[in-house]
């Protein structure tokens, strides 16, 4: 059930995120200010990092928690997916 929810959420998040990244890439072409270009590139990098996290969510097959996470369990997305 959790894997299905994670997969559905990943799909729903990826669609608008792809549009955001695409628009940022287009915007970057028209930026002349080095400061603004840096900000756009940081935003693109952060958006691509979100894409990586979402990709890991879509591959969840089991629930693994972070070791030593204390009282409350924290899901380890990387370990919860297929072994690579």
pLDDT digits (tens, 9 = 90+) for 5-28: 878 888 889 899 999 999 999 999
Q: Which residue, 75, 66, 74, 28, is CA-closest to 47? A: 28
Q: What per-residue confidence (pLDDT) applies to 17?
A: 94
pLDDT at 84 > cutoff 60: no
Domain boundaries, the chain: 2-58
Torsion (CA) 3, 83, 14, 5 in degrees, nearest 10: 0
Q: What pLDDT is recorded for position 70?
A: 63
Tens of pLDDT, residues 21-72 = 999 999 999 999 999 999 999 999 999 999 998 888 877 777 777 777 565 6
pLDDT of residue 53: 87
């Amino acid at each position: 059930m959790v894997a299905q929810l994670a997969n559905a959420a990943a799909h729903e998040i990826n669609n608008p995120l792809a549009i955001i990244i695409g628009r940022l890439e287009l915007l970057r072409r028209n930026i002349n200010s080095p400061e603004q270009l840096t900000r756009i590139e940081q935003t693109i990098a952060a958006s691509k990092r979100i894409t990586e996290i979402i990709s890991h969510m879509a591959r969840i097959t089991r629930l693994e928690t972070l070791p030593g996470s204390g009282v409350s369990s924290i899901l380890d997305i990387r370990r919860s997916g297929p072994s690579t």
